[in-house]
Structure 1
Amino acid sequence: MSIRKIEHIGIRVSALEDSIEFYERVIGLKLLNIIGEVDSDLRLAFLAFPGQDNVEIELISIRGGDDLPNEGRVHHIAFTVSQIEQEYSRIAGLELSGLDREIRTLANESRFFFFNGPDGEKIEFFEPVHLSD
């Protein structure tokens, strides 16, 4: 098989600049490049973690695309974190919508919580059991 890795994850957004700012400020991603001019019907922004560009997030802005179907829309994107209590407090301090009332724990002791991105996309911060030791 010639499939090697996840290239990127695409997320439809309503305001490209606002979403870029959110993913930089809240998640810590770095803007790699933008394809399309400000007045273009289609604009794409690619972001990744600094020094780690093996998987990118692609933000997709389509002017007049409100009537496009929503099938295939990403349900959530998960980021591995350490010190989940500290991250929960930081996100709570930002007063973002959709924040879980508490950190939840899976049967294997991994922990996680969800909150909303700027277009209502679910974002999960996930601390695998081996990171919480």
Structure 2
Amino acid sequence: MAVRKLEHVGIMVKDIEKSIAFYTEVVGLKHLYTMLHTNNVIKLAFLAGSDGQESEIELIEGYDGQLAEEGRTHHVAFTVDDVEAEFKRIQSLGVPLKDTEITTLPNGARYFFFYGPDGEFLEMFQPGTNA
């Protein structure tokens, strides 16, 4: 059996509406839909990139327990065409950055990390020419 694709990444959040706004307005994802789980407590929201619904982000509100400092996932990376433009755009919005500069990997890929509304690590990633 082979994995066909990454279906979605679930991120536990404190305020689903605040997180939907962040992921649509700051990150640039499209909000697909929100639904109440069958337990009538947990809310789920699904978002995807401009290339369609190949992979999705699932925001989860209504869990019990505390979030770790960086959220319940280590990080989620988004592919972009121009990482420098995204770095400037994220900075201009006053979104907290993890580092003050873009990192370049040996294969030419470039990225930077920033923080989501619950302190989760998010990454804007531009693949290298050797990737």
Post-superposition shift, 1:73? 2.6
Check the 8 A contact 2:91/2:97 in 1, yes or no.
no
Provide the aligned C-alpha RMSD in A.
2.4
TM-score, with structure 1 as normaliser: 0.85
Matched residue, 2:62: 62
Post-superposition shift, 1:129? 1.1
Matched residue, 1:108: 107
SS at match of 1:9: strand
Runs of 4+ in 1 over 4 A off after TM superposition: 67-70
Give the % identical residues.
Answer: 47
1: CA distance, partners of 2:83 / 2:3:
33
Matched residue, 1:9: 9
- Name the structure where helix makes up a greater proportion of residues: 1
Deviations 1:33-74 (A, max 9, x none): 11118xx421000111245111111000015x135889x931
Post-superposition shift, 1:99? 3.8
2: CA distance, partners of 1:48 / 1:112:
20
Matched residue, 2:78: 79
Does residue 29 of structure 1 match 2:32? no
- Which residue identity lines up with residue 92 of structure 2 in the other structure? G
Post-superposition shift, 1:116? 0.2
Distance 1:20 1:107, change over 3 A: same
Does residue 130 of structure 1 match 2:129? yes
For 1:44-55, what aligned pairs fall within 5 Å after superposition?
44-55=44-55
TM-score, with structure 2 as normaliser: 0.86
Check the 8 A contact 1:24/1:31 in 2, yes or no.
yes
Name stretches of at least 5 consecutive residues in structure 2 with no aligned partner: none
Distance 1:107 1:17, change over 3 A: same
Name stretches of at least 5 consecutive residues in structure 1 with no aligned partner: none
1: CA distance, partners of 2:66 / 2:110:
37
- The farther-off stretch of 83-92 and 28-37 is 28-37
Distance 1:129 1:44, change over 3 A: same
- Which residue identity lines up with residue 107 of structure 2 in the other structure? N
Distance 1:21 1:4, change over 3 A: same
Distance 1:25 1:111, change over 3 A: same
Q: How many residue pairs are counted as aligned between the two chains?
A: 127
